[in-house]
């Protein structure tokens, strides 16, 4: 249909390139060389098989230039899932306004700047063990309603934002004694996924006072079953 005529080609390309999930290196090269196709992408998903060995702590833009160039051309992008080993430099120069973001980004100056440019973001998933988000500005992510992050990062995401759905990634060395920060969300917590260590041995009355509006609860039996990007609330 793309080869039929110009009118059909334009319409079909809107459908073909709307959702790229999952993307391969060949698709990244195609999009980097064809900005008119990249501008049609609304959902983009890309993950390397072994991000640590591939990037080896180097900035992503120096390792995968086609991917970085393609992302900068995706001006209509609304949902992004990117597992590349933690480098956030690859987001430099991107102008899209996301609703959903999932990745293993390191919280550095570059990523902080990117988050500050995403006021429309409602769903955020950071699939890293630990990161210090304590310097996150209060005005950042004003519409965040769904968050997936390590338990130690949640106190920096929940208070002052309309967070109603949480996936808490609890790790063995997390201090999970205090859940009071959940009450600081500007919206009641309705959905919660958490390791059972996060609830036990707290009293039922305490939990009821912290989560009075809870409608969905999923308790993880083991922390190590949480692998890769979770999709429960996408």
pLDDT in tens, the chain (234 residues): 878 888 888 788 889 999 999 988 899 999 999 999 999 999 999 998 654 444 444 444 444 789 999 999 999 999 999 998 877 889 999 999 999 999 998 888 889 999 999 999 999 999 887 678 888 999 999 999 999 999 989 999 999 999 999 999 877 677 788 999 999 999 999 999 998 888 888 899 999 999 999 999 999 876 454 444 444 444
pLDDT at 213: 96
* pTM of the entire predicted model: 0.85
Question: With respect to CATH, is domain 19-225 assigned 3.30.420?
Answer: no
Contacts of residue 230, Cβ cutoff 8 Å, sequence gap at least 6: 125, 127, 148, 167, 193
Cα–Cα separations (whole angstroms), residue 12 to 18, 22, 73, 74, 177: 10, 19, 19, 18, 54
Tokens of 138: 């209060």
pLDDT at 229: 46
pLDDT at 222: 64
Instruction: Estimate to the nearest angstrom the gap between the alpha carbon of 149 and the chain centroid.
Output: 9
Residue-range domain boundaries for the chain:
19-225
Cα–Cα separations (whole angstroms), residue 2 to 8, 9, 14, 16: 6, 4, 11, 10
Q: How far apart are CA 166 and CA 70, in angstroms?
A: 31
């Amino acid at each position: 249909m793309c080869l039929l005529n110009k009118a059909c080609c334009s319409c079909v390309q809107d459908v073909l390139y709307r959702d790229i999930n999952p993307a391969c290196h060949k698709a990244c090269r195609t999009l980097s060389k064809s900005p008119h196709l990249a501008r049609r992408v609304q959902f983009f998903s890309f993950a390397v098989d072994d991000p640590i060995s591939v990037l080896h702590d180097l900035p992503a833009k120096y390792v995968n230039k086609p991917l970085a160039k393609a992302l900068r051309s995706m001006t209509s992008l609304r949902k992004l899932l990117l597992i590349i080993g933690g480098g956030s430099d690859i987001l430099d120069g991107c102008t899209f306004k996301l609703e959903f973001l999932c990745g293993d980004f390191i919280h550095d100056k570059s990523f902080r700047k990117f988050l500050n440019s995403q006021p429309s973001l409602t769903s955020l998933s950071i699939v890293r063990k630990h990161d210090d988000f304590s310097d996150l500005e209060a005005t950042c992510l004003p519409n965040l309603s769904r968050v997936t992050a390590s338990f130690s990062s949640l106190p920096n995401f929940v208070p002052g934002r309309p967070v109603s759905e949480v996936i808490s990634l609890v790790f063995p060395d997390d201090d999970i004694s205090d859940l009071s920060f959940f009450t600081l969300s500007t919206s009641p917590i309705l959905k919660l996924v958490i390791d059972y260590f996060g609830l036990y041995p707290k009293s039922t009355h305490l939990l009821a006072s912290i989560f009075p509006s809870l409608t969905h609860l999923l308790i993880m039996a083991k922390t190590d079953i949480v692998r890769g990007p979770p999709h429960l609330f996408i």
